[in-house]
Amino acid sequence: MSVVSVKNKYEGQLLSIPGVVGVFADVGRNRLVVLVENATDCQRLPAMIEGYAVECRVSGRASAL
């Protein structure tokens, strides 16, 4: 399964985790990237999903424009 397919499969579950504000597939680095509000939110994420590394990036709170 491709990293994009895994992202599509798990995006809803990841977004339901408190503090998670976004998810994308980094195709070039072959990993999932999860955007969170605070560094402590990274502790709630798995290290791997279906063989792909999960990278946590702190982006802050998302808001509508």
What confidence score (pLDDT) does residue 64 get?
A: 64
64 or 53: which carries more pLDDT confidence? 53
Count helices and strands (H / E) in the chain. Answer: 1, 4
Q: What share of the chain is helix, strand, coil (3-state, %, to 5)?
A: 30, 35, 35
What confidence score (pLDDT) does residue 2 get?
A: 95
What confidence score (pLDDT) does residue 61 get?
A: 78
* 6-48 pLDDT per residue, tens: 999 999 999 999 999 999 999 999 999 999 999 999 999 999 9
Q: Can you say how many angstroms the Cα of residue 52 is from the centroid of all Cα atoms in its chain? A: 11
Domain ranges of the chain: 3-58
